[in-house]
Structure 1
């Protein structure tokens, strides 16, 4: 858009020209809507009001609002657009670098969900097995009691993983809404880890349902 503005096109025509180029990914649908409305002569502020419901990314909304105000109040000079372009590129680089730096912490969240499931199962089954061996004359605790306790522990682990996913989404992508997918993946990881650890460790310790 900035390059088109430098050639002498109006700000509105520069936006339309830039919107015709491919390679914008998911943003192409929003650009098609902007292009269509601008070709019909809809004011920029009204266009911004219609697309802000479709855009959930805060930096994109801010940049588009600055673009609208730059065009409406400052005439959309090529110098102002170039400054906005440089700012947007630097902001994108910061976001990319931030995600790269935070990616190991996202991986750690999944490792933590596996470890807490494995550790909880190991401790519960080991305590049950040792109690049965150390008290031969006493009445052993029924296995279904252990299962009820394990179900309660498992529910707590899954709930904690679900809540942790929201914080992972907030840290990694900037919104709590993005945490839904992380919550689902963490809960699935913890559930599989609980099922496998209970099956394998129960078999190793020779525990069977009474």
Structure 2
């Protein structure tokens, strides 16, 4: 009976089949783009070839990133609505219900991604599943640290008995305080994300100036030496004879990509506490680098 119930439950995001399907499509797209880049390697040079490889990697990373960001948003929605769920339990118990009854009459609407989990929890309880097993199933499907803490505290309150209303009210205040602390942490660290972007823009500006101003002057000097047939070993500009501007541009471009990767991941970790969220910053910075070196 329980097995039949689980089959009818709402589909939880990020099912394994969806992950595998997205991974397969992303992998094929990535391989195709990189293969075309190497196939036309003879006609592509320096930065252009690197761009083809980079976009090939992004073709495989972006779909997986969107999938993981969807999961991060789902967990954030669950944690954000947990205090409201606990507040509803406290109100129901103060009205005379026990814990199980309070869970079953908790509203599912306006609970975000917590709503389907509550529906699943209520269905498991109504079909006779032990409350501890139903809580464990809820915790597994939620997949967040906050949900795990709440379930542990609810199990303790249920097993110990006593004044459940007072215990739940304490749990609700505890979870609310944790959420407030998390918001304060994000607000305090948000300026550091802007600092990373400012530092990256400064870095890109310097590399573009070097590429468009300084390196072009070197190329002009080399051309002047060749036009006047001046031996490279007989002047102070002898060291410039072997300098290839395209290789210097490629080195600076590769440096900007490395800066994009580490700067973006750091911005994500600082801003949201997750490296996965930093991949969107990586993509934005890489696009800025591509525009800077190929348009500006």
TM-score (norm 2): 0.57
Alignment of 1:196 onto 2:291: yes
| Offset at residue 122 of structure 1 (A) | 2.0
Which structure carries more helix by proportion? Answer: 2
| Offset at residue 31 of structure 1 (A) | 1.7
- Cα 1:170/1:57, change in 2 over 3 Å: farther
| Offset at residue 84 of structure 1 (A) | 0.8
- Cα 1:115/1:146, change in 2 over 3 Å: same
Alignment of 1:74 onto 2:161: yes
The total of aligned residue pairs comes to 195
CA distance in 1, matches of 2:216, 2:293: 13
CA distance in 1, matches of 2:174, 2:92: 18
* Alignment counterpart, residue 64 of structure 1, candidates 125, 143, 151: 151
User: Runs of 5+ in structure 1 lacking a partner?
Assistant: 202-210
CA distance in 2, matches of 1:157, 1:87: 44
Contact 2:108/2:118 (CA < 8 Å) preserved in 1? Answer: no
Contact 2:204/2:256 (CA < 8 Å) preserved in 1? Answer: yes
Contact 1:168/1:182 (CA < 8 Å) preserved in 2? Answer: yes
Give a deviation string over 1:135-182, Cα, whole Å, max 9, x none: 531577699x433433343333323322333333333333x3xx2232
Which residue of structure 2 aligns with residue 150 of structure 1? Answer: 249
Contact 2:190/2:270 (CA < 8 Å) preserved in 1? Answer: no
- Cα 1:168/1:39, change in 2 over 3 Å: farther
Which residue of structure 2 aligns with residue 97 of structure 1? Answer: 184
| Offset at residue 9 of structure 1 (A) | 0.6
- Cα 1:43/1:159, change in 2 over 3 Å: farther
* Alignment counterpart, residue 3 of structure 1, candidates 91, 109, 122: 91
**How do 1:160-175 residues align onto structure 2 when only pairs under 5 Å count?**
160-174=259-273
Contact 2:265/2:282 (CA < 8 Å) preserved in 1? Answer: no
* Alignment counterpart, residue 173 of structure 2, candidates 86, 89, 109: 86
SS of alignment partner, residue 155 of structure 2: helix
Which residue of structure 1 aligns with residue 258 of structure 2? Answer: 159
Contact 2:260/2:286 (CA < 8 Å) preserved in 1? Answer: no
Contact 1:6/1:78 (CA < 8 Å) preserved in 2? Answer: yes
| Offset at residue 24 of structure 1 (A) | 1.1
Bigger drift between 41-50 and 76-85 goes to 41-50
* Alignment counterpart, residue 24 of structure 1, candidates 103, 111, 134: 111
TM-score (norm 1): 0.77
Contact 1:161/1:187 (CA < 8 Å) preserved in 2? Answer: yes
| Offset at residue 13 of structure 1 (A) | 1.2
Which residue of structure 2 aligns with residue 207 of structure 1? Answer: none
Which residue of structure 2 aligns with residue 131 of structure 1? Answer: 218
User: Runs of 5+ in structure 2 lacking a partner?
Assistant: 1-88, 227-231, 233-239
| Offset at residue 129 of structure 1 (A) | 1.7
